[in-house]
Structure 1
Amino acid sequence: MKGTLVNAAAIIAGSGIGLALKSGIPAKYQNTIMQGMALAVGVIGLQMALKTQNILIVILGIAVGGIIGEALTIDAGLNKIGAWLSAKMEGRERSGQSNIGQGFVTASLVYCIGAMAVIGSIQDGLTGDTSTLFAKSLIDGITAVVFTSSMGLGVIFSSISVLLYQGSITLLAGFFSAVLSDSVIAELTATGGILIVGVSILMLEIKKIKLANLLPAIPAAAVIAYFWPL
């Protein structure tokens, strides 16, 4: 769980810096910083995607996963949860309550509901590879500065959400590490890498993608790779 611990610490550190910048960061700087982070995310995804040893498995995994995700309407479900939480926070603000809740909810959704959180945690649990989570930690730390300067103290508490969410995935993946071969892990990683490229596209606002509906592609690719020799 080293990757998740570092991720949580990075958010806390970034939030601390953001609190020191109480006047906020000008919008033009925020936009440029976020675009730079998006490009970095794209490179990370490409590096992972190129680890595939059989692109057919990746393609099939994405196709099957997309069908499953659309059937389960994962993206719509997450959007409803986000909208419900946001409405709750707005209601509290109108009542004169603190905006700590809004910062916590917003940051938690951004840091937890994403391909990098899922894939990085799986990598950490399966192979002990923390590179994706370390990269995510740096990106989350930088964005925490931006979020905290505008939304306040609540952002720092999202580190708890990250710790619980990513830690649970890492521990669960650890249980399967003994039964998955290197080739299965390679295809799982490559499939996840393509989804991370999708995160970059979303951050750059190039195209709206129902990325959450593609998350089942990760276990789908693992299952296909497991049975592929047969």
Structure 2
Amino acid sequence: MIDFWAKTSGTWINVFTVAVGTTLGLTLKNRLTQKMQLIITQGIGLITVWIGLSMANTMSQVKAGNLEGVILGLLAMVIGGIIGEWLEIEERLTALGNYLKKRFRGQGLFTEGFVASSLLFCVGPMTLIGSLNNGLTGDNTLLTIKATMDGIVSIALANIYGIGVGCSILVLLIYQGGLSLAASAIATNLTNPESNPYILIATGVGGLIIVGIGFNLLEITKIRVASFLPAIVISSLIYYLASIF
């Protein structure tokens, strides 16, 4: 029987890399000019958009009956977004960030950093498939790769947003660690997770949310990305319903 550590080892490694990256980012915070911080933000934003678009493309590999993956994704985003607004997820996550800001006396863009990094670190194919592998077999390879990427990104984000990035560790620990533990109970019912349509459609919808984060970083517009989080779960449900009718 796989013990607790083996099931969640990838998450603990991820928590460590984000903590180290945040510390380095804070150390460098006063040594970078405003122009340098801006160009870092824009660089992260562009890469984030590219990653999101690459993830979103997985929807093209999904088809349920006569419905293409893009239609399933559209339905998931609309329905999930409505549910997210009804649950006031954006406001609740922002309120949590503001509470932590007050609790730890954070300054400046604390809440923005907390929300953006929480979503960026928790939404993605590596989180889903990596947590699945970690929870089922104890293999943390994918999550270790993701942890390395998150650690590098957190350096730049902490330099821009401050300690709010480090507080996203709480969300990372609960969400990703919870997925790993839950995966041990449900993963045995899934075959070939890398090509499983439920994983692919959820990954595609998650990619669209990542694109929204990129747009926010680039200040192209203000997208209420947190409100779309229910769409990730809704996407798999919509695929199931479409495939049986």
Residues 1:77 and 2:125 aligned together? no
Q: Provide closer, same or farther for how the CA distance between residues 204 and 145 of structure 1 changes in structure 2, counting only shifts above 3 A.
A: closer
* RMSD (CA atoms): 3.5
The 2-side partners of 1:46 and 1:24 are apart by 33
Return the offset for 1:163.
3.7
Match of 1:96 in 2: none
Q: What corresponds to 2:130 in structure 1?
A: 124
Cα displacement (A) at 1:173: 4.0
Aligned ranges 1:35-184 → 2 under 5 Å:
35-52=42-59, 53=62, 54-90=69-105, 109-112=115-118, 114-119=119-124, 120-126=126-132, 134=145, 137-144=148-155, 147=158, 159=169, 162-180=172-190, 182-184=196-198
- Report the CA distance between 1:77 and its aligned residue: 1.4
Distance 1:7-1:34 versus aligned 2 partners, 3 A rule = farther
Cα pair distance change 1:180/1:216, threshold 3 Å: farther
TM-score (norm 1): 0.76
The percent identity for this pair of structures is 29
Q: Output one character per residue of 1:75-111: Cα deviation in whole Å (capped at 9) or x when no partner.
A: 1111122223323333xxxxxxxx7x99998865543
Say whether residues 1:221 and 2:235 are aligned partners. Answer: yes
Counterparts in 2 of 1:173 and 1:105: CA distance versus 1, 3 Å:
farther
User: What is the aligned partner in structure 1 of residue 66 from structure 2?
Assistant: none
State which of 201, 208, 220 in structure 2 corresponds to 1:187: 201
3-state DSSP class of the match of 1:207?
Answer: coil
Partners of 1:88 and 1:157 in 2: how far apart?
A: 11
TM-score, scaled relative to structure 2? 0.72
* Alpha-carbon distance between aligned partners in 2 of 1:159 and 1:28, rounded to the nearest angstrom: 28
| 1:100-125 CA-partner distances (Å, limit 9, x unpaired) | x999988655432x154143422322
Q: Where does residue 93 of structure 1 map in the other structure?
A: none
Structure 1 residues 71, 106: closer, same or farther in 2, change over 3 A?
Answer: closer
**Which of 218, 223, 228 does residue 209 from structure 1 map onto?**
223
2:45, 2:218 within 8 Å by CA — same for their partners in 1? yes
Cα distance in structure 2, aligned partners of 1:136 and 1:67: 32
CA contact (8 A) 2:209 2:225 kept: yes
Aligned length: 219
